[in-house]
Amino acid sequence: MTTKHENCLIMALPNGRILGEVMPLLRRIGVEPEPAFNDPATRQLRFTTSEPGLDLIRIRSFDAATFVAFGAAQLGIAGNDVLMEFDYSEIYAPLDLDVGHCRIAVAATVDSLGREDLRRSSHIRVATKYPEITRRHFAARGIQAECIKLNGAIELAPRLGLCHHIVDLVQTGATLKANGLIEVEPIAAVSSRLIVNRPALKTRPEEVGGWIERLREAVAGRTSPPNPLRPGVARRSGAGMAKIAAWRGRS
């Protein structure tokens, strides 16, 4: 299906567990995607919504930040693990959505912990999909991290002798335990954030700022009905718009 407006805003949503946590939040502020969005057999990736000025796209979690950073999407949802890994200067993350809670952590095999003392090591080999976070974490401890970049099945790497340590997301720890690993130390708490393309916020402040405020109110447990004169723009709280105006003034 084609979009209702050629110039509508695009919001990039990550597939997977986070999508299931984010959609109730969007529906709370009146955003309902077209029926194909909920069809598991669809090959469609861009979807219209009940808001004439907003389309949704569904992509990989890491790609959501890239689409927003390069302006292909003006809004998006991404975990702060992704933001830490890529550190895109063109992304502004004004709001913690309070969903997708987990942590990024170092884990290792029980045997390796008995043989190695990281405090005395100068080099470590780590399997991870977060090489930049991993290098920074160990560099701060004076350890050079040799990162083996994997996109999935990270917990399998130590079992097959690829390495002794991994850096990955941990929620309950059940997957680590099932694969003979234990958590060594947390690196950072993770949650999903609303992200915004900085140039889009400067050039389309009413539209983009309106969505920031609607989601801010939804997270706080309040809802704001759409402004009938401007689709996609909600009533703005003075404090929220002041923050946006201050950010624009610094840019």
Q: In terms of domains, do 19 and 95 share one?
A: yes
How many residues are given for the chain?
251
What CATH number should be reported for the domain holding residue 137?
A: 3.40.190.10
Q: Is residue 140 part of a domain?
A: yes
Q: In terms of domains, do 26 and 71 share one?
A: yes
Q: In terms of domains, do 120 and 18 share one?
A: no
Q: In terms of domains, do 94 and 136 share one?
A: no
Q: In terms of domains, do 91 and 202 share one?
A: yes
- Total domains, the chain: 2
Q: Which H or E element spans position 108?
A: strand 102-109
Q: In terms of domains, do 59 and 176 share one?
A: no
Q: In terms of domains, do 182 and 216 share one?
A: no
**Contact residues for 112 (Cβ-Cβ < 8 A; gap 6+):** 158, 164, 165
Q: Is residue 3 part of a domain?
A: no
Distance CA 12, CA 100 (A): 16
pLDDT tens digits for range 183-209: 999 999 999 999 999 999 999 999 999
Q: Is residue 4 part of a domain?
A: no
pLDDT of 236 strictly over 50: no
pLDDT tens digits for range 97-146: 999 999 999 999 988 876 666 667 789 999 999 999 999 999 999 999 99
Q: Is residue 230 part of a domain?
A: yes
| Domain residue limits at 116 | 102-189
Q: Is residue 1 part of a domain?
A: no
Other residues' Cβ atoms within 10 Å of the Cβ of residue 36: 14
Distance CA 46, CA 42 (A): 11
Q: Is residue 33 part of a domain?
A: yes
Q: In terms of domains, do 136 and 150 share one?
A: yes
Kindly report the pTM of this predicted structure: 0.83
Q: In terms of domains, do 95 and 23 share one?
A: yes
